[in-house]
Structures are given as structure tokens and as C-alpha cells.
Chain A
Amino acid sequence: MPKERASKFRFSGLQMVPPWLASLCLLVAFGCALEWAVRSGLVSRLIVAKPSEAILGLVTLQQKVDLFGAIRTTFGIVATAIVLECLVALPFGYFLYRRRDFGLAYGGWLAAFFAAPIFLLYPLFMVIFGRNQITLIVMGFLPGVIPLIIHVEQGFLGVSRTMLNVGLSFDMTSRQIFWKIMVPAAAPSIFTGFRLALMYTLINVVAIEYLVNVGGLGVIVSDRYFRFDISGTYSAIIAVMGISVVFNWAIGRMERLVRPV
């Protein structure tokens, strides 16, 4: 117990610093330590690039690999895949909710597919569709559509019976009950599915881009690596990380707008 108290006391001193500032300081300290380790030769320059070089390399990355073009390509593919996912998953998820027999029959299969490494199908789709963006769209679509179907079904299943009865007692039509009660009640779950779909789509599209070397964010990392441009590889990784952080942050903000407090 005294040890516990001592650790709490030690920690309370740190708590004077706001967490965001401590996070930032930690990142800067880690960067400085790494810079020193690489400069002093403690860590080989052939393995880790100097953080300063990697950050400055972001400026020249546009000239080397057309970063903005890669962002446009990847997000174009992700957007197309997401539109297709919504077109398929929203009606199919609702169908599985309406027809419980189908919902129960396909639920296990969907869960199994969700756990399976779907990206392994890419050699087959490359043979079928060719080494182009259609393969990337299909490979983004498949892992994204499954969580969306599952969450649409779960969202409608989770609508409380009491709320539906309230709608009926107000003599609402089926259409009114659907739009005014069921859709708003299922929205948080549907949006969770949408967020998962977006994340899985982005992750799979970038992974296939990396493996197949077809235009986009994944390619800029593999391109720099296969040219043995160590600092360029690190710059490309920082760029892709930064973009996915902004992307995930934007999805999180959107989700907060939909979720009840």
C-alpha cells in the first residue's frame, strides 16, 4: 500500500501538465532521442532515417512521387467502394432484419467472412479484372461491405419495441415509423458499421496498392523502399500515417454528430 501511495504522489506532479502538452512533449523528446541515436551512430542510418531528414523529406515527396495525386487516387477508390458498399449493405442489412430466417441463416457466414483474410483474393481478382483500379475497388468493397451489413441488421434489431408501439399508438403509417423511429434509432449502429467499413476499405486498398504497386498511397511507400531511399521511405510512411490519422479523426467527428450524447 505505501508503494501505491508513493506512485500516486509521483504521478500527481506530472498531472500539472495538460495531457495534450505531455503527448506533444513526448513525441518531440522521442524524435530528439532518435535524432541523437542516429547521428551518433548508435542506430544505423541504413536502418533508421534521421527524423529531421524524414520530416524535411515530406516537402520533396511531392516532387518525387506526386503525393497529392496518390491521395486523390486512393480516396477516389475508397469513395467508389464506399458508395457501392452502401448501395448493397443498406438494403441487404434491412432485408436480413425483416426476414429473420435469412438473417439467422446468413449471420454466421457473414461473421466467418468478417474474420477471414479477404485480401488474399486479390491475385484472383487481378487475373479476372486485370492489374487496374477495378481490382482495387472490388478489394476495398469486399472487406467493407460485411461489417456494414452486420451493423445495419443489428441497428434495426436493436430498435426498442416500446418505441415502435408508441409510433403505432400515434396511428403512424409504416413509412412514417420507418423514417421517424427506426432509422434514427438504428443510426448510431449503422454509423459504427459505416466507420468500420471506411477503415477496412482504406486499410485494404492501401495494402493492395502496396503489394501490387498500382497507383495510390500504398505505392509511394513501396516505391521509396524499393529504390533504397531510406529517408524517403520514412517520409512516405509519415505522410500515409498523417493522412490516415486525419481520415480517422474526420470519421470520429462525424460519428459524434450522429451518436446520442
Chain B
Amino acid sequence: MIEVLRQMSPLPRRVLVIKVVTALCLLASWEMLSLSGLFYKGIMPSIVEVIRACIAEIADTSFYRDLGYTMLESSVGFAAGSVIAIAVAIVLGRNPYARRVFEPYINALGGTPKIIFLPILFLIFGLGIESKMAKAALSAFFPVVLSTTSGFIQIPPVLLRVGQSFGLSRWQMVQKVYIPAMSEPLLTGLRLGIAMAIIGVLSAEISYSNVGLGYRLIQNADQFRIPSVYAITILIFAVSVSINTALTHLQSGMTKHKQGRSPEKTVDALTTMVARSA
């Protein structure tokens, strides 16, 4: 281990040391706080107790049922919300007038706390998983539509003209020109959208549900099972950070792929692609 550290160049070595020392300091402060008696008994459990609770949660089959429900609600809602958002973004991107008409509403609703719409969703879709899916769709829609519209506006006009000069149909334009040309802002929007969809579903589950990780968390909090609350929070954080990291890697992979291309090369590639599909 020390040999590996020695072989590293000074900056990455210092970064690694800072990370390890900070993590150890945080864990030590946690343990000290838990032993200090500053908080009521049980509010700040020891790290060992939290780890035990994490293991218990992972070993419990009902945890996977709740995780499955949360993931199902998030993914269905995210898929519906982002498909609608991409379609709306393409319409708004193609028509500057429509953009100016609808943009104030999209911006206004996008900045509003979505949780206030929960009563409407509960009234329309009921208290089952459908309302959570609708909440996920609503939460995912705004980051995707805003990011994709701005991506569409930035598509080089030459790409649009190449597509038009080949007489591509509307669907072919979407498939061969719009989506590949705005892949980067689209992926950014989708990454934000999935994070928002998960948050949206969890908040709806906390508000009213009898399944899902949000429900599991609030049930444990209500019954004062604090180590389990910490454990579930840590596990939810781990799931959402993993999804985000995977999408970030996917995005950076695609960005690297695009970096090597000049606009001329992109036009060439598009021409070849269109020629092949024709």
C-alpha cells in the first residue's frame, strides 16, 4: 500500500491522503458525538449500530420489495416524463414563436416546488403507485425539457440544412439529426431528470404510501428506530449517487467521443449515416 502511494505523483497522493484523513475525521467525530451524551439516547447511534442496521436492511427481503416499488415508480415516471419532455423540446426548438409563447409557463412551473402539486395528483390518480409515477414524470419533465430545448437551439444550422437537403422525414430528422446533435445537453437533462424523479417519488411515498423506500424510511422514523433510519438514508443515497455516477460516466464517454469531431467531420458522418439509412 505504502509502495503504491510512493509510486503516485505528489498531487494525486495528497488528494488521496486528504480524502482518507477527512473520512476518518468524520467517522471519529460521529463516534465521539454518539458517546458524548450531547444528544438524547439513541438519536446519534454508534457507527457499529448503523452498520449493523445497514446489514439488517440488506438482508431483509422486504427492503428489496420497497426498493423495487421505488425504482418501478421512478423509472416509469421518468420514462414518461422525459419522452414527453423531448417531444415538447423538439417542437419548441423548431418553432421560435411557440418557444416564446410557452417558455414563460415552463420556466414558471419549473421553478415551483413540485410537492405542492401532490394533492392534485392524489385526487386525479389516487393514492396508489400511479400518483407516484405521475409525480416522477412531473419532476423529470422540467429539467429534461429545459436542457433539451437549449440543446436544440444550439444545433449547428448546417446539420439541419444537410438533413433537409437529403429530404429526411420528420421522424428521420429526430432520429438522425436532432437527438445525436443535442446528445450532450439531452444527457445532462436526463441525468438531472432521473435524480428529480427519484426525489419526487420519495417525497410522494413519505407523504402518503404503504410501499416504497420513502414509506419505509418514515415508518422507521415514526417508530423511533433511528439506526434503521440512518441505514435506509445511507442506502437511498448510495442508490441515487450510483445512478448519477453511471449516467455521468456515460455522458463523459459520449462527450469524449464527440470531442474528436470537427463540425466538418460531423457533417461527413451525418451524410454517411443518412446515405446508409436511405
A: residues with CB less than 8 A from B are 1, 4, 11, 14-15, 19-20, 22-23, 26-27, 46-48, 100-102, 104-106, 111-112, 115-117, 119-121, 123-124, 126-128, 199, 202-203, 206-207, 210-211, 218, 221-222, 224-225, 230, 233-234, 236-237, 240-241, 244-245, 247-248
Contact = CB atoms under 8 A, between A and B. Distances in A.
Interface string B108-143: 110111111111101110000000000000000000
A106 B26 CA distance: 13
Interface stretch (B14-22, B177-185, B270-278): B14-22
Nearest to A238: B116
B62 interface: no
A112 B241 CA distance: 6
Contact of A241 (B97, B116, B207, B233): B116
12 contacts: A15-B97, A20-B104, A46-B123, A102-B18, A106-B22, A117-B240, A121-B233, A123-B229, A128-B44, A206-B113, A233-B119, A241-B116
B236 to A, nearest CB: 6
A101 B118 CA distance: 44
Nearest to B201: A117
A121 B217 CA distance: 10
Nearest to A46: B123
Given A117-B240, A244-B112, 16 more contacts: A1-B164, A4-B164, A14-B97, A20-B104, A26-B101, A101-B18, A121-B233, A127-B43, A203-B113, A203-B115, A207-B115, A210-B113, A211-B115, A234-B120, A241-B108, A244-B113
B263 to A, nearest CB: 23
Contacts, number: 142
B101 A47 contact: no
Contacts of B47: none
A115 B214 CA distance: 17
Given A1-B164, A117-B198, A128 B39 contact: yes
Nearest to B221: A123
Contact of B119 (A1, A102, A127, A221): A221
A101 B14 contact: yes
A121 to B, nearest CB: 6
Interface string B95-111: 10110111011011101
B226 interface: yes
A120 B118 contact: no
A137 B245 CA distance: 29
A23 B101 contact: yes
Contacts of B22: 105-106
B85 interface: no
Contacts of B107: 248
Interface string B218-249: 10010010100110010011001100110010
Which residue among B15, B16, B98, B111 has the maximum number of chain A CB atoms within 10 Å of its CB?
B111
B127 to A, nearest CB: 12
B15 A105 contact: yes
B203 A119 contact: yes
Nearest to B207: A211
B218 A123 contact: yes
B226 A112 contact: no
A192 B208 CA distance: 35
Interface in B187-210: 195, 198-199, 202-203, 206-207
Contacts of B112: 240-241, 244-245
B124 A47 contact: yes
A211 B203 contact: yes
A83 to B, nearest CB: 21
A240 B116 contact: yes
B260 interface: no
Given A19-B101, A101-B18, A124-B230, A221 B237 contact: no
A19 B97 contact: yes
Given A241-B109, A241-B112, A225 B119 contact: yes
A112 B207 contact: no
A117 B236 contact: yes
B116 A218 contact: yes
Contacts of A233: 119-120
Nearest to A43: B124
A237 B43 CA distance: 35
Contacts of A221: 116, 119
Contacts of A26: 101
A152 B233 CA distance: 28
B48 interface: no
A124 B233 contact: yes
